[in-house]
A = this chain, B = another copy of it.
Amino acid sequence: MMRYDSGMTTGIKIRPPSPRRGQAPQGRKPVITREDLITAALKLVGPNRSVSTLSLREVAREAGIAPNSFYRHFRDVDELAIALIDQAGRSLRKIIGEARYRAASGRSIVRSSVETFMEQLSADEKLLHIVLREGTVGSEAFKQAVERELHSFEEELCVDLIRLAELNKLPIYEPQLVAKAITRLVFAMGTAAMDLPPDRHPELIEDMVKILRMIMVGTQTMAREGIVAD
């Protein structure tokens, strides 16, 4: 699908930024890598610009290549978008690893995990932002790529929840659902946080910590006493 912008400066269809490459075209590039295209795409997407609105030609333009060279690495822009999501999976796994590392420091695990997550987000990981923002509209392949990363994150988190519960001799009710809830919440609230100024982030971190604690208390209480709330 093509995208076309004839000068609109308002609306959800944002005018693509003009390529800023300073000089005239530099002639033939010696080699064009897949990473060139990924980097170019990342420059184009953002909170106001969905990957689903990217056009092949503007990615090529941003990368400083001829449009036809795009096909050396990707079949179409959807395939590039899916590659972005796959790469974002690495960032998610990095978050988990870092949270595990910090969990060993003896501080509050909920808080340190939330802070870890938010720090990584604030480090302007474009890839992370994409997987958080996108994923509910797009090709089936694209949505599945996002869903895969989400589920992978959930599963890792679930393993951690169970391990920690055993370590601390605490009960846990439905750990998989707990992991799902935490993942969905943290992703949704993390996404919202990205639209707010950084001085609002501590407040949001507090909110997230409180909510996650409610969930933890709830799961422990329900496991221990079988309480059913209405």
Kindly supply a per-residue 1/0 record for chain A positions 181-211, scoring 1 wherever the CB is within 8 Å of any chain B CB and 0 otherwise: 1001101110110010000000000010011
Comparing A2-10, A22-30, A65-73, A117-125, the segment that makes contact with chain B is: A2-10
B214 touches A78 (CB 8 A): no
A181 touches B229 (CB 8 A): no
Q: How far is the CA of A229 from the CA of B164 in the complex (A)?
A: 12
**A104 interface residue (CB < 8 Å to B):** no
Comparing A34-42, A44-52, A89-97, the segment that makes contact with chain B is: A44-52
Kindly supply a per-residue 1/0 record for chain A positions 117-145, scoring 1 wherever the CB is within 8 Å of any chain B CB and 0 otherwise: 00000000000000011101111111100
With an 8 Å Cβ cutoff, the count of chain A residues facing the other chain is 75
B229 touches A220 (CB 8 A): yes
* Chain B: minimal CB distance from A108 (Å): 5
**A159 interface residue (CB < 8 Å to B):** no
**A76 interface residue (CB < 8 Å to B):** yes
Q: List 10 A-B contacts (CB under 8 A).
A: A1-B13, A1-B15, A11-B76, A12-B81, A12-B142, A50-B53, A52-B53, A108-B230, A215-B218, A217-B229
**A156 interface residue (CB < 8 Å to B):** no
Q: How far is the CA of A48 from the CA of B135 in the complex (A)?
A: 10
Contact of A181 with B174 at beta-carbon distance under 8 Å, contacts A216-B218, A218-B214 already known: no
B221 touches A217 (CB 8 A): yes
* Chain B: minimal CB distance from A75 (Å): 8
A214 touches B210 (CB 8 A): no
* Chain B: minimal CB distance from A58 (Å): 11
A13 touches B3 (CB 8 A): yes
The 3 closest A-B pairs by CB, nearest first: A1-B13, A2-B4, A218-B218
